[in-house]
Amino acid sequence: MRHFATHFFLNAFACLCLLGNGNGEKASDHWAFQAVADPEPPRVRDQSWIRNGIDSFILAKLESKGIPTPDRAIKGILERRLSFALVGLPPSMLDPQDSFLEQIEALLASAHYGERWGRHWLDVVRYADSNGLDENAAHANAWRYRDYVVRSFNEDKPFNRFITEQVAGDLLPTEGNFSVRRNNLVATGFLAVGPKLLAEPDLVKLEMDMIDEQIDVLGRAFLGLTLGCARCHEHKFDPISTEEYYALAGIFKSTRTMESLKRPAKWVENLLANSEELKLSKKHQDLVEAQNAVVVAYRERANQELLASGKFSKFPKKPEAHYPEPTRKELENLEKTLKLFNESSPKLDFAMGVQEGNVTELPVFIGGDPDVRGEIQPRGFPALISIPEARASRIDGSGRLELAAWLTSSRNPLAARVIVNRVWRWHFGRGIVETTDNFGLLGGKPTHPELLDWLASRFIEDGWSIKALHRLILSSETWRMSSRPHSIALKKDPENRLLSRAPVRRLEAELIRDSLLHLSGELDLALGGSTWSYENRKLVFNHTSEDNTNYLTNRRSIYLPVIRNNVFDLFQLFDFPNPNSMCGDRTPTTTPQQALYLMNSPLVRQAALGFSEKGFGSDPKVRLHLLYNSAFHRDAEPDEIRQSLRFLESFSSKSEPSDKWHAFAQSLICSNEFLYLE
């Protein structure tokens, strides 16, 4: 008998579901399941600090604890913080003459904004360019989904529409607009890019594990709920039953994610060609078939001529060797033409995604075991969010379109709260709810619950606009506060949970790499497209563990391939998330290996060399100021100039001048001020 009590995608939160809950909270009373409120911002004593409602909620908590009003960060620090926050690059694109609000708008309008914020979302959807697990096959077309995400953020696509396209884009009406249809098909890559056990011999297990992974990602990404806990038993804490899990699983069972389940299984690739491209492909195929027929007919005629010549008593094994020279040459020309036609076939575009499958309603698999079946469950959604218009009796087809409507309904209290909390976390390093992927009873409680609902209400009022949410957050004094705390704040808010000062945050792995290339003048800012040539579904690692992946490109880090089980070494060292599972909250670490990488890696040394050449030929003091400005977005202090000159003078007279400047440039790169944002 097959047992499915656990599965290979069981995540940390799902494991916790087996442990028990000691707080005794009743699930129906849990804050996250209540309707989104729209509270009035509280009154505060220091009204001069207030720019918008965010400041009122933050300062009210600080004043209640006797913590002084925070100071504002200086202009240079704010500009560096802003540039990395919105486009993930040093602030060279900012016009220092613009006001801060004008700088916000300029960066939001930049095409590089979508790259920065698209990468955040790719963490959540466990994006990767290979399958990983048992068959680490290439996702050669996954980049189309990545580019779709970048475009969506640049266009400020309403987030409720963004959800709908990813869950059910193939089912949305397009009114004959092919570009919209193509976009929507690519969007369903959300459900397809997860890792799968392609060599799993038990086909039922393969499919149910895949469905469970889709449910897990959808639940945590959009609702902040660990729905997968109900696969084998009633959810221990959140009000989600096993029956509801299989009602939801029926929707994905009715969705075609796999083209074939036979080993090695193949995922679905949606054809993206329009009618004219299909016609061209058909005409070219007709040409290939016609030329092939000519080659076959010519060879048959030549063979018949051999027999008719009377030189052979039986047909020779290699007849071509006996053809007359003119015949051989003519056949070679015909075959060359056939080869040319084959090689010049129009390439049709495909994208990973899903399609409608056979409508299926699943029984409960008792204990997760498909051999022990309970009652069949009509396709539907968990009742913890009651939405009368989203009923099982109204579901057509797979039910994904209705699922998307349920997720984005104004009656659903979770979707807006979860994404608002994610954006807050990506700006401040910690969410208002610290457990960004779990809003259930085992998740953290919001530090500022009224602020979370106030932001969610504004977000919905603003048409689910992420850019409007940025404007609200970035224009607040809360976001602009200094990272240098008052002594009272350190004592009363040691972990900075009340936001008594700006958090100091290290740059993410991608930002470190992009900044290095930017400093050296080698960063390629081209947008989008495939940067990894690999045959689709071909094993990235073969049976000898051969790996042909390389990262030798100067494109931005979002365009580097993400190979499951073999993530780029810089990414691994600097806390890139495990692409086998979704992650809305990267965990920063500090390790000796990070320092060793910055001192010794060819990437860093090459970047430092290019960086050190800035201001070549200038007066040493001028050159030092230029390097400080480039690395830190500020002038060097007089004492820093004196120390830097002493460092340069300490080199042997036999050293090449370029060596000492190279070493100095690398010392700036290795400094905390370069690696961290204040």
- Give the model's pLDDT for residue 240: 92
Region 291-298: mean pLDDT is 95
Rounded-to-integer distance, Cα 312 and Cα 328, Å: 18
| Percent of the residues in the chain that have a pLDDT greater than 90, as a whole number | 82
Predicted confidence band of residue 307 (pLDDT cuts 50, 70, 90): confident
| Percent of the residues in the chain that have a pLDDT greater than 70, as a whole number | 95
Is the per-residue pLDDT at 220 higher than 90?
Answer: yes
- Give the model's pLDDT for residue 3: 39
Region 386-405: mean pLDDT is 79
Measured CA to CA in angstroms, residue 564 lies from 196, 267, 500, 578, 674 at distances of 11, 17, 39, 8, 29
Q: Which of 66, 70, 65 is nearest to 54 (CA)?
A: 70
Predicted confidence band of residue 544 (pLDDT cuts 50, 70, 90): low
In terms of phi and psi (left: phi > 0; alpha: psi -120 to 50; beta: otherwise), the region of 57 is alpha
Q: What is the DSSP string of 65-122?
A: TTPPPPPBPPHHHHHHHHHHHHTSS-GGG--TTS-HHHHHHHHHTSHHHHHHHHHHHH
Contacts of 147 by beta carbon, 8 Å cutoff, 6+ apart: 528, 529
Region 581-594: mean pLDDT is 95
- Give the model's pLDDT for residue 133: 86
Give the torsion sign (CA, 75, 77, 80, 81).
negative
Region 643-658: mean pLDDT is 88
Tell me, rounded to whole angstroms, the distance of Cα 251 from its chain centroid.
24
Rounded-to-integer distance, Cα 295 and Cα 337, Å: 10
- Give the model's pLDDT for residue 627: 96
Q: 3-state SS string over 112-154?
A: HHHHHHHHHHHHHCCCCCECCCCCCEECCCCHHHHHHHHHHHH
How does the average pLDDT of the chain come out, rounded? 92
* pLDDT tens per residue across span 28-75: 789 999 999 999 999 999 999 999 999 999 999 999 999 999 999 999
Region 666-676: mean pLDDT is 97
Tell me, rounded to whole angstroms, the distance of Cα 373 from its chain centroid.
37
- Give the model's pLDDT for residue 24: 59
Predicted confidence band of residue 25 (pLDDT cuts 50, 70, 90): low
Q: Which of 153, 178, 240, 138 is nearest to 530 (CA)?
A: 138
Region 249-266: mean pLDDT is 94
Is the per-residue pLDDT at 389 higher than 70?
Answer: no
Measured CA to CA in angstroms, residue 12 lies from 189, 438, 443 at distances of 24, 11, 12
Higher pLDDT, 188 or 565: 188
Backbone angles phi, psi at 302, to 5 degrees: -65, -40
Backbone angles phi, psi at 506, to 5 degrees: -80, 145
Is the per-residue pLDDT at 11 higher than 50?
Answer: no
Asked whether the beta carbons of 541 and 565 are under 8 A apart, the reply is: yes
Predicted confidence band of residue 255 (pLDDT cuts 50, 70, 90): very high
Rounded-to-integer distance, Cα 256 and Cα 355, Å: 5
Rounded-to-integer distance, Cα 338 and Cα 340, Å: 5
Rounded-to-integer distance, Cα 104 and Cα 249, Å: 43
Rounded-to-integer distance, Cα 605 and Cα 659, Å: 11
Lowest-pLDDT range of 205-209, 317-321, 392-396, 556-560: 392-396
- Give the model's pLDDT for residue 14: 41
- Give the model's pLDDT for residue 550: 81
Rounded-to-integer distance, Cα 434 and Cα 413, Å: 18
User: What tokens were used for 306?
Assistant: 């051999």
- Give the model's pLDDT for residue 657: 84
SS3 content of the chain, % helix, strand, coil (to 5): 50, 5, 45
Measured CA to CA in angstroms, residue 274 lies from 183, 312, 560 at distances of 12, 54, 29
Rounded-to-integer distance, Cα 127 and Cα 252, Å: 19
Lowest-pLDDT range of 152-166, 244-258, 534-548: 534-548
Predicted confidence band of residue 317 (pLDDT cuts 50, 70, 90): confident
Is the per-residue pLDDT at 605 higher than 50?
Answer: yes
The DSSP bridge partners found for residue 3 are none
3-state secondary structure of 217: helix
User: Which of 21-25, 318-322, 653-657 has the highest mean predicted lDDT (pLDDT)?
Assistant: 318-322
User: What tokens were used for 678?
Assistant: 């204040």
* pLDDT tens per residue across span 472-530: 999 999 999 999 999 999 999 999 999 999 999 999 999 999 999 999 999 999 999 99
* pLDDT tens per residue across span 353-364: 999 999 999 999
- Give the model's pLDDT for residue 5: 37
Asked whether the beta carbons of 431 and 425 are under 8 A apart, the reply is: yes
Asked whether the beta carbons of 346 and 273 are under 8 A apart, the reply is: no
